[in-house]
Amino acid sequence: MLKEETMKCNIIAQRITLQEYLMDREADILKDIDDWVSDEEKIKTLDRATVETMLDGWLNEFTLVQPS
């Protein structure tokens, strides 16, 4: 039971760390999204690969402290 509770706490802590990381970069992320949304022709070309590339770019410096 203790291990399960520890894992839940760890997952919650990781989620909070990720949220804080993304909130610190909110302006850049919103600008990237707005660049796509504001251009009707550009948004038509948006596909999964492009979104994955954007996510990779936003998260490229993100690291979890645990698990090591």
Q: Which tens digit of pLDDT belongs to each residue from 39-59?
A: 999 999 999 999 999 999 999
- Residue 39's domain spans which residues? 25-62
Q: Does residue 1 fall inside a structural domain? A: no
Q: Does residue 18 fall inside a structural domain? A: no
User: How many domains does the chain fold into?
Assistant: 1
pTM equals: 0.73
Cβ–Cβ contacts within 10 Å for residue 40, how many?
7
Q: Does residue 40 fall inside a structural domain? A: yes
Note the pLDDT tens digit of each residue in 10-40: 888 889 999 999 999 999 999 999 999 999 9
Q: Does residue 14 fall inside a structural domain? A: no
Q: Does residue 33 fall inside a structural domain? A: yes
Q: Is the pLDDT of residue 4 over 70?
A: no
Residue type, 7: M
